[in-house]
Amino acid sequence: MGATVPKTVMITGVSRGLGRALALELARQGHTVVGLARSQEKVQALMAELSQGDSASSSSTSSRHLLKHLDVRSDSSMKEFAKLVVEERKIPDIIVNNAGTINKNNKLWAVPAEEFDMVIDTNIKGIANVIRHFLPLMIEKKHGIIVNMSSGWGRSAAAEVTPYCASKWAIEGLSKSAAKELPPGLAIVALSPGVVNTDMLVSCFGSNATLYQSPEAWAPKAAMMILNLTPEDNGASLTV
């Protein structure tokens, strides 16, 4: 299976929750992580942890990983990051569009406009910005897999998280539509992680979030699934 071949995997929202757990798991398996997130402090802490893993398995002092403090909502930042990735020869084999946010529980008409915009700009436009600048690099290489993180709430509905549900339903449609535009050898899939105890789940469920699996328990299953996706999966809606 493809998982035995070292791959370069780009993860947005890499500094916390699912993104962080997935990055550590992939690095542990010997894959190269390219990542970005909004928190400079958390990005630096993760880079230090990944570099420690490198030094434990290699005499090289320079990390094979590339992490940057960036916001997917900025199209110009994604354009510049794509240039850097080309210069560093780290064009991803797989992109995991994981960066996401959720509104505070509230009826739609009570959600402030700024909060609604934050959800839409991060969860939908952020993915579009990444695809705009990185998919052409994959097309040039004639291979690549893009995983757009969806949600059970991208396939069902819930009260008080309407902006989030709307954004994830949009990602399901975006993924299926974009899949029809790809040349052979590439794939775009929508992937629901299942229910995992992250800060976002705590925002919705409160203390009940602890009833669900941790990101660390989730990551090995997710990594196996993501690493073994193929062009035949193009357009699929999958669940870890």
Per-residue 3-state assignment (H helix, E strand, C coil) for 19-70: HHHHHHHHHHCCCEEEEEECCHHHHHHHHHHHHHHHHHHCCCCCCCCEEEEC
pLDDT at 61: 46
pLDDT at 58: 52
pLDDT at 2: 45
pLDDT at 89: 97
- Tokens in use for 32? 């190269």
The answer to whether 190 and 176 are in contact (CB under 8 A) is yes
Q: What is the mean pLDDT of each run of 10 residues along the chain (240 residues)?
A: 78 97 97 97 96 63 87 98 98 98 97 98 98 98 97 96 98 98 98 90 87 92 98 98
pLDDT at 20: 97
Task: Tell me the domains of the chain and their CATH numbers.
Answer: 8-239 (3.40.50.720)
Polymer length in residues for the chain: 240
Which is catalytic among the residues 149, 164, 219, 234? 164
Report the predicted TM-score, pTM, of the whole model to 2 decimal places.
0.94
Instruction: Name residue, tokens 């934050």.
Output: 118
Instruction: Name residue, tokens 């490198």.
Output: 54
- Where are the alpha helices (H) located in the chain, listed in sequence order? 17-28, 40-57, 75-87, 113-120, 126-141, 162-179, 199-205, 215-227
- Respond yes or no: is residue 164 known to be catalytic: yes
